[in-house]
Amino acid sequence: MVTTPAIVVAAPSSGSGKTTITTGLIGALRAAGHRVAPFKVGPDYIDPGYHAVAAGRPGRNLDPNLVGEDLIAPLFAHGAAGADIAVVEGVMGLFDGRITDAPGTGAGGSDQLGLGSTAHVATILGAPVVLVVDGSGHSQSLAAVLHGFLSYDASVHIAGVILNRVGSPRHELVLRQACDRVGLPVFGVVRRDPSLAVPSRHLGLIPAAERTEEAVAAVDAMTGHLGAALDLPAIVAAARRRAVADAQPWSPAAAVSPGASATPGGEGADADPAGVPARPVVAVAGGAAFTFGYAEHTEMLTAAGADVVTFDPLTDRLPEHAAGVVIGGGFPEEHAEELSANTGLRADLRAHAAAGRPIHAECAGLLYLAAQLDGHPMSEVLELTGHFGPTLTLGYRDAVAVADSVLFRAGERITGHEFHRSTVAVAPDVEATPAWAWRDAAGRATTHGIVTASVHASYLHVHPAAVPEALHRFVSRAREVETDAGARGMPRAGRSPDGRE
């Protein structure tokens, strides 16, 4: 059995510096010759972007709330393929998970405290934890804090501590003595250095994809600083004491093709007599405005029989022969003027939807399909208006599909995640079919999102590994529409003839 060495980077609370430490650690390990597989606990899209820059391979998420506990170890094994060490950044504080009405007493489980917490994922993987402590507000009492974390849950193995934002040499000495008192080794001491800070805004750090050159420079700085500050051999030795062997790796092909029935169109498949390729083109939005997406998504679309092409809505037209479109999350409000100015793509998307070709839109994608976003014309595929506001909507949702769509069948249940500061309103004279229904924190039934004959759009982020049938359904729909159009002698999918509004 293969056991990939792994270390989980956690903290007592948010704001302790986990992302900087994790990104610098990943970069330093890579610089030392390791092949590092980076992971992030929870639904966050932004931190994995920095991990990917440091590691030179995709950052991936491990979230039991979104995919279920049973998929965590297989997804880890899939993402760690070819690596000799994995680094997993935690979420919030070590034991912070989904808040439920009936907290329990352990690190994981559907009715226990910390479902989806860093501690929960660490126990699933059998991986040791290194605790990042913000030393700026600590002295001798740190020993009591560490004692509490060590004794709180015996299933969680805390292997050592990284002292962050440490001041003077005397401050370091006092903190080291506190760690010695509870028997925890210190794996590194990181001095206070404002130059290591990464710019942030309303939803956290600015995504690496929006500041490519600056992101690379920031990661290089973290790598150099952390490489000098951390005891890499000690961290690697701790990672090698991981207690659980790797699970059978998750497979995108097996997920979307149970019984090898992923519709016709494997690699190298020929076009049918009508000239329609067996592998439809699915265009996935990227670029600075649409940076949110899970690595497994494109892998699963490909496995389901699609040829995936990325396009940038800030500058590009819809890729030629696009039979399906995926527009994920991001920050369209930061790029609304540029998005609005790309009138050719906006016309392409309207023509695409009108032809019955499928579109899957999440969060930012929902806003982009609207008629307007804060007064800026958007694609006008949906009769909605979007507005950016001060209120943060955040949390997991246990949702049920209200109607059949290009992704889901009515009655299908999923767990998704909302994270946005915008709202959308349906035009007063429009009777829209909602995408989802769920109960809010007060138990009141509510509906959300919108579906049409060709569009599924909502704020809800769903992990594709949890809904393989939805991706199979989406690609099958794209292929069917193209096949039908080819049989009737209609033009292939792609751009609007003139690109005008």
Give the sheet arrangement for strand 322-327, strand by strand: 307-311, 281-285, 322-327, 359-362, 455-458, 450-451
Rounded CA-CA distance 266/245 in Å is: 33
Burial of 248 (0-12, 13-18, 19+ CB in 10 A): exposed
Rounded CA-CA distance 254/262 in Å is: 9
Listed in order, strand segments (DSSP E) in 286-412 are: 307-311, 322-327, 359-362, 372-373, 376-377, 384-401
Beta-carbon contacts of 21 under 8 Å, excluding residues fewer than 6 positions away, are: 9, 132, 162, 164, 190, 226
HEC secondary structure over 207-226:
CHHHCHHHHHHHHHHHHHHH
The set of catalytic residues is 363
Please say whether the beta carbons of 12 and 145 come within 8 A.
yes
| Chain length of the chain | 501
Burial of 236 (0-12, 13-18, 19+ CB in 10 A): middle
AA letter at 253? A
Which runs of consecutive H residues, i.e. helices, occur in 99-141?
Answer: 118-125
Determine the number of helices (DSSP H) and then strands (DSSP E) in the chain. 15, 21
AA letter at 1? M
**What do you get for the CA distance between the two ends of the chain, in Å?**
59
Tokens of 418: 């909302």
Please say whether the beta carbons of 336 and 370 come within 8 A.
no
Q: How many CB atoms lie within 10 A of CB 278?
A: 17
